[in-house]
Structures are given as C-alpha cells and as structure tokens.
Amino acid sequence: MSTESIVECNNVYMTSDRGEPIFEDVNLKLTAGRSVVISGAAGSGKTTLVEMILGLRFPDSGSVELFGHCLRPRPRRLLKRIRRRIGGVGGVFDLVPRLTVAENVMFPLVLASERRRVRHERLMKMLVEFKLLKQASVYPRHLTRVEYTLAQFARASIANQPLMIIDEPSAGLDPDTYKRVFEYLVRVSLSGRSMIILTSQAETGRLPQSDYLRIENGCLL
C-alpha cells in the first residue's frame, strides 16, 4: 500500500482569538489508503481541525502538511489548488446557493477541466447513487436536510479526489438513509481513497482500513 502522506499534523498548538488553548499538542498522520474517524464533544475543536487542514486557519506553533505541502499563509490560488484534491461533506462544505444540485455536484469536474461527456456520465452516476435525479434542477434552499446532505456526498464523490472530509456523517439522516450512506463509506474506504470523519456521537459500525481517535482536552488520543 502507498505510504504517500495525505495529512500530517506535527506538535500543533493553537489558541482562540481570546487566547484560550484549542490544541495543546496535536499529532496526526494519515497516509494514502487509510482513513481516520475522530470523535469529540461539541466545542472540542473538530471544526477548527478541519479549518486547519484546509489552510483556513494556521497553528500558533507546529506544522500542518497536506499532500506534502506545508500549509502556511501564501497566495490564495496556491491553497485553492491544493484543496481541489479534497471532497467535503458538512461543516464548512456548503453547497453553492446559486447553483442547482446538478451544477453543485458537477462543480469539482468543472474545476478539473474534465471533458463534457465524462462530466455528464459521472453526474448521472452520482445522481442515481444518491437518489437525487428528481432534485437535479432544484436549488439548495429548496432541499430537505437529507437531500442537502446527500447532494454534498455526491459532490464530494464525483471527482474521486484522494481525500474526503466528512463532518458529522449521520447529521440529519434517518436510520435507513444513514445505513445506505455507511455502506457507501465502506466502499470508499475499500477503494483506496482516504477519509477524515469527524463525529460527536458514536457511529454504528466500523469502517475498514480506518483508525479511531478522539479529540479531548486539546489532544488527539
């Protein structure tokens, strides 16, 4: 299995705007083909961890690397280029309000300058996979919470990006829908893509090729 580094956090220390510690000494290494499920209570720093991995926030000390690139303040276009290798669900990964479901889902392929025929084929596959065919021309504000989450999953999956970040995978999903989503996550894990899954509650089932950590008192345990 590849040992390519996807994410590395080394001795990360970060404080809030008010000077309160968020992370005391966070260390995390995720290699290609592996996933990690991180649990933690509300306010434990899960969202901040995602923002740090995306280069939206930077630690006070220590380092964060994404696909071998050290994240630090730099021209926005360079950070955007690195982030294009990530698909996301929940949290900061909102759908674009002015785009329809189909346009949102297809957006990563547009950014990748994929051919139109390939875009259409993959779009139809995702809409069928997540049962969104009827919602293809609908704008996000008219979606139910379940449909909104499924549209995010479809968008995060369409380009086969090497990393998927999922913030609260079961949020807003009924048991049957979550069961279907979990089965999909199992397939993603077995496909060799990496995932970082953040959750505030114990998820049912165990994903293959995954490590389970918890964030507590500013540390990953």
The larger pLDDT score, comparing residue 26 to residue 171, is at 26
Is the residue at 183 inside a domain? no
Mean pLDDT of 21-30: 95
Residues 42 and 58 placed together within one structural domain of the fold: yes
Residue 23 has pLDDT above 70, yes or no: yes
Cα–Cα distance, 192 to 151 (Å, whole number): 22
Dihedral angle, C-alpha 179, 182, 187, 190, nearest 10 °: -140
Check whether residue 81 and residue 166 sit in a common domain: yes
- 70 and 166 in a single domain? The answer is yes
Supply 169's token pair: 């995978």
> Is residue 196 predicted with pLDDT exceeding 60?
yes
Length of the chain: 221
With a cut of 60, say whether residue 1 has pLDDT above it. no
Least confident of 170-174, 184-188, 207-211: 170-174
Domain total in the chain: 2
Mean pLDDT of the chain: 93
DSSP element (H, E) containing 49: helix 46-53
- The answer to the question of residue 180 being in a domain is no
User: CA-to-CA distance for 64 and 194, rounded, in angstroms?
Assistant: 17
Instruction: Report the distance separating Cα 169 and Cα 95, nearest Å.
Output: 16
How would DSSP label each residue in 76-120?
A: HHHHHHHHTTEEEESTT-PPPTTS-HHHHHHHHHHHTT--HHHHH
Question: Could you identify the residue written with the tokens 């590395």?
Answer: 8
Contacts of 7 (CB under 8 A, 6+ apart): 28, 29, 30, 53, 64, 65, 66, 163, 196
Does residue 178 sit within a domain? no
In a domain, 37, yes or no: yes
Q: Is the pLDDT of residue 2 over 80?
A: no
Residue 145 lies in a domain: yes
Pair (167, 218) in one structural domain = yes
Q: What is the pLDDT of residues 96-134, one digit of tens each?
A: 999 999 999 999 999 999 999 999 999 999 999 999 999
Is residue 82's pLDDT more than 60? Answer: yes
State if pTM tops 0.75: yes
Give the Cα separation of 66 and 64 in Å (integer).
Answer: 7
User: Which residue, of 161, 182, 209, is where some domain finishes?
Assistant: 161
What is the model's pLDDT at position 78?
79
For residues 81 and 88, the model is more confident at 88
For residues 151 and 143, what is the distance between their CA atoms, to the nearest angstrom? Answer: 9
Domain extent at residue 143: 94-161
Per-residue pLDDT of 144-183, as tens digits, reads 999 999 999 999 999 999 999 999 998 889 999 999 999 9
Q: Tell me: pLDDT of 202 over 80.
A: no
- Pair (81, 113) in one structural domain: no
Residue 87's pLDDT is what? 97
pLDDT band at 204 (very low <50, low <70, confident <90, very high): low
Same domain flag for 167 and 79? yes
Last residue of a domain, one of 139, 161, 183: 161
Give me the CATH number covering residue 195.
3.40.50.300
Return all residues near 10 (Cβ < 8 A) that are at least 6 apart: 27, 62, 63, 64, 65
